Amino acid sequence: MQTLHLFPERPDPLLTIVVPCFQEEETIPEFHQRISRVVKRLPVTCEILYVDDGSSDLTTDLLREYQDGSTVRCLILSRNFGKEAALRAGIDHARGSAVLFIDVDLQDPPELIPGMVEFWQKGYDVVNMQRNLRVGDSWFKRMSARAYYWVMQRLVEKVDLPADVSDFRLIGPAPLAALRALDERSRILKGMIGWVGFRTIELPYNRAVRHAGSSKWNAAGLFNLAIESILSFSRKPLRIFSLISFGLFVSSICYLLAALVAGSFDSHHLLVGMSSFICVGVAMVGEYVGVTLAEVKRRPLYFLKNSSKPDPMPLHPSVSSIEGKKC
């Protein structure tokens, strides 16, 4: 049993703002201006970490121009790996003890960041921004998001996945350390953040219209995200298949016995019996694969959060009341 301590040393800067960028030459200048104004007003030391996710327009040049090695840094990925990978790169390279994700297209207003920091300082480990108005999103995007949360909330057990919470969130030191301890390949960050737990709050906000350019998501991308989310966090589809197969098997046995007693048994009954038997076999294999998957991921069985009230955090949030345990 390995004990994992979630006590990062108090680093400087305290907060890293991670900004994934892909083909965003039109939005970056305005975003940079607005975020720079906000950062100056923040009561904590802060760095901006841009992650260029393999852009082929002027994004990389602009980011190189802004970086100064201390308060503004930029990571350049070797190709387009997708937003989830860009956020993961941000987590891996953040120097702050807490991380805040924000999109560069200004749909998430940077001016809301001080409010998020305030709740972090009040003792919340995760501050999620929850969209109550999605004026910037198309009808298709709104409907697919609703369907996604509807399915996920039914399939994923014991993980809090609040609806309409995207990646605009602040993750405090303890959940950040917990996330880094998860060594799996899953790219579904929102599921992982829900999974690690800790004290969380949702703050409502109005999602704005994109400043320029267009969304990088299409129907196929959203479908992939949904499938990957289900595969990463739920074994329920396998269990549903197993239960149906078992039900089918029991009914077919009754059907065969009835046919034998009535003397009407023929090849048709044999076929029904064999099919239900094969279904049960496939379901069993599925269940074993599900268990193997959980073993391969080696997720910690739990994290501990000290029950004592967190220290008031005027300028330097303390993380000493929280520890994690990995089994």
Interacting span for ligand UDP (CB under 6 A) from 21-29, 61-69, 120-128, 284-292: 21-29
Q: Judged by CB, which is closer to ligand UDP: 50, or 124? A: 50
Q: What is the dihedral of CA 240, 246, 252, 253, to 10 degrees?
A: -170
Interacting span for ligand UDP (CB under 6 A) from 3-11, 76-84, 121-129, 278-286: 76-84
Going by their DSSP bridges, the two strands 322-323 and 304-305 should be labelled as antiparallel
Rounded distance between C-alpha atoms, residue 194 and residue 191, angstroms: 5
34 binds, among ligand UDP, Mg ion, none (CB under 5 to 8 A by kind): none
Q: Which of residues 192-231 bind ligand UDP (CB under 6 A)?
A: 215-217
- 189 lines the binding site for ligand UDP (CB under 6 A): no
Q: Judged by CB, which is closer to ligand UDP: 106, or 322? A: 106
Q: Which residue in this structure is represented by tokens 């940077």?
A: 110
User: Is 63 exposed, middle or buried, given 0-12, 13-18 or 19+ CB atoms closer than 10 A?
Assistant: buried
Using only C-alpha atoms, what is the Rg of the chain? 24
- Do the Cβ atoms of 202 and 161 come closer than 8 Å? no
- 105 lines the binding site for Mg ion (CB under 5 A): yes
- 53 lines the binding site for Mg ion (CB under 5 A): no
Residue type, 270: L
What mask, x for binding Mg ion by CB under 5 A, covers residues 106 to 125?
-x------------------
Q: Judged by CB, which is closer to ligand UDP: 89, or 116? A: 89
Question: Contact with ligand UDP (CB under 6 A): which of 89, 99, 100, 104?
Answer: 104
Rounded distance between C-alpha atoms, residue 123 and residue 174, angstroms: 11
Spacing of C-alpha 213 from chain mean position: 25
Residues in touch with Mg ion (CB under 5 A): 105, 107
Residues in touch with ligand UDP (CB under 6 A): 20-22, 24, 53, 80, 82-83, 86, 103-105, 107, 215-217
